Structure 1
Amino acid sequence: MEYQTIHVRFQGTICFLQLHRPQANNTINDQLIAECLQVLTACEENITIVVLEGLPEVFCFGADFQDIHDTVGRGLPTEHDPEPLYNLWLKLATGPYITIAHVRGKANAGGVGFVAACDIVLADQTAVFSLSELLFGLFPACVLPFLIRRVGLQKAHYLTLMTQPATVQQAHAWHLVDVYEEQSTILLRKHLQRLRHLSKHGISSYKRYLHQLDNSLQQSKMQALTANRDMFANPQTLEGIFQFIEHKQFPWEKS
């Protein structure tokens, strides 16, 4: 199939899924979410490994503020539904395949959600990770259940409060990144050579059992969705997004 926001290719039982919105800094919009969900659903029967990649300089930069700005500017309803994105991350975390995030460049906000949802995170030395939401009066409500599961409450709390990028070395020390090397494509190839020997039945059974041991992602879902909807319904939040898109100013820089 042809997609507008992603590139997809298959190599045996491995699916390579690349987020591909170079004109929009690889940000997340409704179409990208829908296309990723469609691919992951199609992978459930026969695929054993899903490799999630971005662009060389930006893995994923989070929500598409330009899209939000344009929707409001056209006078269309601003109802924000975070559930499809949360469900997408749930598929990455609990689906019957091994998910690998191959991160190069910037992973910000929702981009960190994609990373934290994956089973294995590989990166090169250009990778940086940040949660910028509080700069706009938001907070990463849907990201946090996945991030806390991976790095723990305090590290997720610190990353949320500081809003500044963490280097790949810091992310590795915090267990957000499993392994990093200068040549991450070679690193990915080594992992695939090992993981491709695992059976579909074994992977599916293991992932199902793991989710039964730790059901925190499902338990946190409704609370995360409610918080996210409330934030994006706040007129002050939308005003801050408008100011950033139209004047390249953060909310505290308003004259």
Structure 2
Amino acid sequence: MIYRTIRYAGDGRGIVRLTLARPEKHNALSALMIGELTDVASRLGADATVRAVIVEGDGKSFCAGGDLEWMRQQFTADRQTRIAEATRLAMMFRALNEMPKPLIARVHGNAFGGGVGLVSVCDAVIAEQGAKFGLTETRLGLIPATISPYVIARIGEVRARPLFMSARIFGAEEAKTAGLVSMIVTAATLDAAVEAEAASYLAAAPGAAGRAKRLARSLGSPITDAVIAATIEQLADTWETEEAREGLAAFFERREPSWRR
């Protein structure tokens, strides 16, 4: 299958580099990218020759969150359409989270909103020193709903609460303290660190590695259909608030929302 927003390539060892390929949009998650990432997660997960997958971003950012045009479409959509789109996004995160392969994030530049969601579903996260993170949804009057089960599973409720509510941007050191990032390295050593992390999984039996990942997930907070559906309903409710209408209108009109005046 030919993808338009992502690409992937493997080496002779079974290590695959999965690249978000919308550098001009800071690799923001468009409707097309959501579908392509869901598809490739299934393909790579079922491929017995794949031993580990590195997720990376082209250009200046890892992933800046939701695509502007995709957000604009949600702004004018009805509740059922918003639920359907949020469900597509949730299924993408689930597919990546449940992929029976080691998943390693190579993070540089910005990882905001859905970008933090992508980081959260990875098994190991190697970040450049200057990387920036943020759960920025409340700046728009929204909530980080579809990514929330994975962020909570990664860093826990106590650390997530202030980050969910404040929408502030934070650096790699704080992300590591929170448990979002596994290792921080310089820009010059980022690729070598990612390669070393990916290569470490080659010593493990591939089937056992997948089963070990499933075991670890089964012992954590369960991310069930009901949990996912409940977060999507909360998002749909939030989209219908005056704050969301004001926050998104201000964003598209390039002005400050009323609560920041």
Same fold per superposition (TM over 0.5): yes
Quick check: 1:57 aligned with 2:60?
yes
Q: Which residue of 1 aligns with 2:104?
A: 100
Quick check: 1:161 aligned with 2:197?
no
1:184 is aligned, of 175, 187, 190, to: 190
| TM-score, structure 2 as length reference | 0.88
Q: Which runs of 5+ in 2 are unaligned?
A: none
> 1:117 Cα shift?
1.1
Q: Which residue of 2 aligns with 1:241?
A: 248
Distance 1:229 1:90 in 2: 19
Distance 1:166 1:200, change over 3 A: same
Distance 1:61 1:220 in 2: 25
> 1:91 Cα shift?
2.2
Distance 1:214 1:72, change over 3 A: closer
Distance 2:91 2:181 in 1: 22
> 1:238 Cα shift?
4.1
1:178 counterpart letter in structure 2? S
Q: Which runs of 4+ in 1 moved over 4 A?
A: 75-78, 233-236
Identity %: 25
2:222 counterpart letter in structure 1? S
Deviates more, 1:5-14 or 1:138-147: 5-14
Distance 2:142 2:89 in 1: 17
Distance 1:207 1:251, change over 3 A: same
Q: Over aligned residues, Cα RMSD in angstroms? A: 2.2
Q: Which runs of 5+ in 1 are unaligned?
A: none
> 1:222 Cα shift?
1.6
Number of aligned residues: 252
2:230 is aligned, of 207, 210, 223, to: 223
Alpha-carbon contact 2:141-2:244 (below 8 Å) kept: yes
SS of structure 2 residue aligned to 1:41 = helix
Distance 1:253 1:174, change over 3 A: closer
Alpha-carbon contact 1:28-1:110 (below 8 Å) kept: yes
Q: Which residue of 1 aligns with 2:8?
A: 8
> 1:64 Cα shift?
1.6
Alpha-carbon contact 1:55-1:104 (below 8 Å) kept: no
Quick check: 1:212 aligned with 2:218?
yes
Deviations 1:188-224 (A, max 9, x none): 0111221122222111211222232225222521211
SS of structure 2 residue aligned to 1:59 = coil
Deviates more, 1:167-176 or 1:208-217: 208-217
1:221 counterpart letter in structure 2? I
SS of structure 2 residue aligned to 1:154 = helix
1:193 counterpart letter in structure 2? A
> 1:44 Cα shift?
1.7
Alpha-carbon contact 1:135-1:250 (below 8 Å) kept: no
Q: Which residue of 1 aligns with 2:239?
A: 232
> 1:142 Cα shift?
1.7
